[in-house]
Amino acid sequence: MSPQTSTYVVRGARVLGGEPTDLVLRDGVVAEVGPGLSAAGAEVVDAEGLVALPGLVDLHTHLREPGREDAETVETGTRAAAMGGFTAVHAMANTAPVADTAGVVEQVWRLGTEAGYCDVQPVGAVTVGLGGERLAELGAMADSAARVRVFSDDGHCVADPVLMRRALEYVKAFDGVVAQHAQEPRLTEGAQMNEGELSGRLGLQGWPAVAEEAIIARDCLLTAHVGSRLHVCHVSTAGSVEIVRWAKSKGWDVTAEACPHHLLLTDELAATYDPIYKVNPPLRSASDVEALRAGLADGTIDIVATDHAPHPHEDKDCEWPAAAFGMLGLETALSIVQQTIVDTGALDWTGVAERMSYAPARIGRLAGHGRPIEVGEPANVVLYDAATTRVVDPADTASLSRNTPYAGRELPGRVVATFLRGRATVLDGKLT
């Protein structure tokens, strides 16, 4: 990575898919926008035919450090993020030790600053050790240098209704949000895949949709009751979309995310017994996929978040019930969104910018990200070639892990360049 900040003239980029224009990125901001621009000593980037989007923001990333540096580190994870067009990621709290104190969140935040490939905004645990029993020191994490605003026990559900109520209330003091991993634990003991006809046939224990929907419904009601802010992680079922739509119709402050894999893949893949397709919440049915796409298009689902979950090879190269849950997502997210939402006509690039940049930054209260590509705004920009295709090869990933479910699949689009505050983290499709 080059240490110095250069000036870039980006030529012919289609901002949000609009008419080609030039951009000057200087001193960390978008300095000029318009046709025929030039700047002394600037590096010229030919962006003819490329779509320019605001730097993507992921509200749901597992960077694994500290504790599982065999799966991912802040450095490798943020490299993968940059390759995927992200300029900021929220690092989930389920590390070892758990990010449940000011000390741990500051450590993760500092590692992100040192890596430099994208901003790392730590998520704080809701409960001590993700144990679901006592509130973590949410205020201390909020007041720390990491300025935590998103709190989540992701990987575990805050199942205790009293604890969830208190967490929702408590975070109001610093404009925080509780991001719930909605999974009723008793209904999902030993669960392996979506519960349906196929789970019965395959003899894999079912993960019923109701286990997600019941928690979402409860939490929406709690949120309304205490007047707080709820974010629902990785919505995966048609019923969940309906519940969130209903909560929004009431005017309650509920936001929701969908993951790329839930927008594309279905539970049929479990029939391979290949745990590369094992994820939590599980891949669902084709009708759930349709409902998620529709929810994303009409704004019921506010954002796309990756749930990027790296795992070492041995944790996936084994029997399905013994394998870890989760799949990589950072480097393929934009392509999956293009394939499932843009190429289908459900959303245009303005919509993609909203779902993958503006809204996640807003929900995370993240300053300096999710801003439009306009003069004076931070120069967080992605240049994306939507006209090309590529075949996913796990060996190519910048992540330390290889557990992508898209191996061998042809996906549309490719990130050509990513700029973080005017500095290129990716150029010509390669990390700088």
Partner 1 sequence: MRRHLLSAGDLTRDDAQLVLDTAEEMRSLADRPIKKLPALRGRTVVNLFFEDSTRTRISFEAAAKRLSADVINFSAKGSSLSKGESLKDTALTLEAMGADAVVCRHWASGAPHLLAHAGWSRSSVVNAGDGTHEHPTQALLDAFTMTRHLGPLDGRRVAIVGDVLHSRVARSNALLLRTLGAEVTLVAPPTLLPLGIEGWGVETSYDLDAVLPKADVVMMLRVQRERMNAAFFPSVREYSRRYGLDARRMATLQDHAIVMHPGPMIRGMEITADVADSDRSVIVEQVTNGVAVRMAVLYLLLGGSEAAIGGAEDRPSGGGEA
Give the residue from 222, 170, 188, 232 showing the smallest Cα distance to 363: 232
Residue 321 sits in the site that holds partner 1 (CB under 8 A): yes
Per CB under 8 A, the segment of 49-57, 94-102, 151-159, 311-319 that binds partner 1 is: 311-319
Candidate segments 110-118, 131-139, 195-203, 334-342, binder of partner 1 by CB under 8 A: 195-203
Q: Is 314 in the site for partner 1 (CB under 8 A)?
A: yes
Rounded to an integer, what is the distance from CA 257 to the centroid of its chain? 8
Q: Is 175 a catalytic residue?
A: no
Closest distance to partner 1 from the beta carbon of 283 (Å):
11
What Å distances lie between residue 203 and 266, 280, 376, 401, CA to CA? 17, 18, 58, 29
CA–CA distance from 212 to each of 62, 106, 188, 238, 287 (Å)?
A: 21, 32, 9, 11, 16
Q: Given the complex with partner 1, which of 66 and 196 has the nearer CB atom?
A: 196
| 3-class secondary-structure state, position 274 | coil
Comparison of 22 and 195: residue with beta carbon closer to partner 1: 195
Pick the binder of partner 1 from 319, 345, 376, 395 (CB under 8 A).
Answer: 319
> Between residues 170 and 277, which has the closer beta carbon with respect to partner 1?
277
Interaction of residue 59 with partner 1, rule CB under 8 A: no
Residue 308 C-beta: closest distance to partner 1, Å = 19
CB 377 within 8 A of CB 32: no
Q: Which of 134, 201, 250, 430 lies at the binding interface for partner 1 (CB under 8 A)?
A: 201
Per-residue x/- marks for partner 1, 86-125, CB under 8 A?
Answer: ----------------------------------------
Dihedrals φ, ψ of 262, to 5°?
Answer: -75, -15
Q: Give me the least distance between CB of 407 and partner 1, in Å please.
A: 4
Residue count at the site for partner 1 (CB under 8 A)?
Answer: 31
Vertex 123: Cα angle to 134 and 417 (nearest 5)? 170
**Window of 38-46, 142-150, 196-204, 381-389 that interacts with partner 1 by CB under 8 A:** 196-204
Distance (Å, rounded) from C-alpha 432 to C-alpha 426?
5
Q: Which residue is catalytic, options 307, 315, 393, 428? A: 307
Helix axes of 161-170 and 209-226: crossing angle, nearest 10 degrees: 50
* Token digits of residue 5: 């900040």
Phi, psi at 414, each rounded to 5°:
-160, 135
In single-letter form, the type of residue at position 37 comes to L
* Main-chain phi, psi angles of 225, to 5 degrees: -65, -40
At a CB cut-off of 8 Å and minimum separation 6, what does 201 contact?
none
Q: Is there binding between residue 29 and partner 1 (CB under 8 A)?
A: no
**Considering the rule CB under 8 A, would residue 224 count as an interface residue with partner 1?**
no
Positions 378 through 407 that interact with partner 1 (CB under 8 A): 407
When binding is defined by CB under 8 A, the residue of 88, 276, 342, 361 that contacts partner 1 is 276
- Contact pick of 97, 409, 429, 431 for partner 1 (by CB under 8 A): 409
Mark the segment that binds partner 1 (CB under 8 A) among 92-100, 101-109, 205-213, 226-234: 205-213
- Single residue of 17, 20, 246, 273 touching partner 1 by CB under 8 A: 273
Residue among 19 and 189 whose Cβ is closer to partner 1: 189
Nearest Cα to 304, choosing from 231, 356, 266, 227? 356
Measured distance CA(125)–CA(178) in Å, rounded: 9
Interface residue with partner 1 among 6, 272, 287, 389 (CB under 8 A) is 272
Instruction: Provide the pairing of β-strand 43-46 with 8-15.
Output: parallel
Stretch binding partner 1 (CB under 8 A), from 71-79, 134-142, 188-196, 377-385 = 188-196
Strand-pair category, 430-431 with 423-427: antiparallel
Tell me the longest C-alpha to C-alpha distance in the chain.
67
Q: State the binding string over 229-268 for partner 1 (x if CB under 8 A, else -).
A: ---------------------------------------x
Is residue 320 within the footprint of partner 1 (CB under 8 A)? yes
Sign of CA dihedral 150, 207, 294, 260: positive
d(CA 410, CA 390): 5
Distance CA 268, CA 286 (A): 9
Q: Does 312 bind partner 1 (CB under 8 A)?
A: no
| Alpha-helical segments (H) within 256-354 | 260-264, 286-298, 333-337, 349-353
What sign does the CA torsion over 236, 242, 247, 249 have?
Answer: positive
Give min distance, CB of 199 to partner 1, in A.
7
- Which residue number, 110 or 409, has a Cβ lying nearer to partner 1? 409
Residues labelled catalytic: 307
The site for partner 1 (CB under 8 A) is made up of 190, 195-206, 208, 268-269, 271-274, 276, 314, 317-322, 407-409
